[in-house]
Amino acid sequence: MSAPAAFAARWSRLVVAVPYLWLLLFFLTPFAIVLRMAMSDADTALPPYAPHFEGFATLREFISKLDFENFRLLADDALYWDSYLQSLRLAGQTTLIALAIGYPLAYAMAAAPRHWRPVLLVLVVLPFWTSFLIRVYAWIGILRPEGLLDMVLGGLGLTSEPLRLLNTEAAVLIGMVYSYLPFMVLPLYATLEKLDRSLLEAAADLGATPVRAFLTVTLPLSLPGILAGAALVFIPSVGEFVIPDLLGGPDTVMIGKVLWNEFFSNRDWPLASTVAIVLLIVLVLPLALLQRARLA
């Protein structure tokens, strides 16, 4: 390797080091703290936990005291299992509904005349210009008995009595689909807009009906957009806390809410940390497998 090439290689390694350092500092370090917390015991002191590790001298003792007691507790209690499963199910439903609404939306946007597209994009992003919390509160006004929805449906003569949607699982789904829909539409639009129209013409030319052409050309080529959109909707939906808290009822127990309760109501930081770490594993493992499958 020539001297300038060696210099360039060393320099480029230095450049890549900066983002790695960033990730180490702001992602891995907090994660290590949470992990340490999860393997500690609850205490009523301030902070309300007892660290086992206070220096290198006690390293042996610290490691011997680390245990998976909290993880065992989590595995044994049906409450946690149920709320994980309910979170995954609701997030899955949210993702599917968002895909069902978002795909045609993105498709129509990509097919719209070129000068219309920026306007449509702004409309999709427009809700982000107001606070997320306020928008979820607004849904309370729409969904509550005698609320906007009941008024409209009743006024049209479609319903005779209030729907009683608020504080049900349906309300949580509505709220989550509404909140996360843009995250589905944007990556889908990006892939569909890039799609070469001559590919569809070629499919038609070779005898494919419009439906067949969609299934064999458009759909497989928009798969990266579908996967990206699904991940962007699914991941925050699983850990969602605000929407089930405001729109959900007593029977919607999502893991985000359990986490909140353990942290602030029960002041059991180690257990709360355990809940968080298990959630992370539940989310990261399938994503890592997906990534491997795509690279293979």
- β-bridge partners, 50: 41
Gap between the Cα atoms of 43 and 269, Å rounded: 9
- Scanning 58-66, 209-217, 254-262, 286-294 for contacts with another protein by CB under 8 A, the matching segment is 209-217
Residue 204 in contact with another protein, rule: CB under 8 A: yes
Cα–Cα distances (Å) from 52 to 66, 206, 232, in that order, read 8, 70, 37
Residue 207 in contact with another protein, rule: CB under 8 A: yes
Minimum Å distance from CB 284 to another protein?
28
Q: How many residues bind another protein (CB under 8 A)?
A: 19
Minimum Å distance from CB 119 to another protein?
22
Residue 205 in contact with another protein, rule: CB under 8 A: yes
For another protein, the binding residue among 30, 127, 220, 286 (CB under 8 A) is 220
Q: Calculate the dihedral angle through the C-alpha atoms of 236, 239, 245, 246, rounding to the nearest 10 degrees.
A: 0
Residue 131 in contact with another protein, rule: CB under 8 A: no
Residue 55 in contact with another protein, rule: CB under 8 A: no
Residue (130 or 209) nearer to another protein, CB: 209
Minimum Å distance from CB 203 to another protein?
7
Residue 212 in contact with another protein, rule: CB under 8 A: yes
- Scanning 8-16, 89-97, 165-173, 216-224 for contacts with another protein by CB under 8 A, the matching segment is 216-224
Gap between the Cα atoms of 280 and 282, Å rounded: 5
Cα–Cα distances (Å) from 225 to 212, 219, 230, in that order, read 20, 10, 8
Residue 276 φ/ψ, nearest 5 degrees? -65, -40
Residue 42 in contact with another protein, rule: CB under 8 A: no
Minimum Å distance from CB 189 to another protein?
19
Minimum Å distance from CB 206 to another protein?
3
For another protein, the binding residue among 111, 199, 288, 290 (CB under 8 A) is 199
| CA nearest neighbour of 248 among 102, 135, 100, 143 | 143
For another protein, the binding residue among 44, 131, 160, 198 (CB under 8 A) is 198
End-to-end CA, the chain: 31
DSSP label at residue 206: T
Minimum Å distance from CB 188 to another protein?
17
13-35 burial: b if 16+ Cβ within 10 Å, else e: eeeeeeeeeeeeeeeeeeeeebb
53 burial type by CB count under 10 A (0-12 exposed, 13-18 middle, 19+ buried): middle
Residue 206 in contact with another protein, rule: CB under 8 A: yes
Minimum Å distance from CB 142 to another protein?
42
Gap between the Cα atoms of 277 and 264, Å rounded: 17
Residue (61 or 205) nearer to another protein, CB: 205
Residues near another protein (CB under 8 A) are: 196, 198-199, 201-210, 212-213, 216-217, 220-221
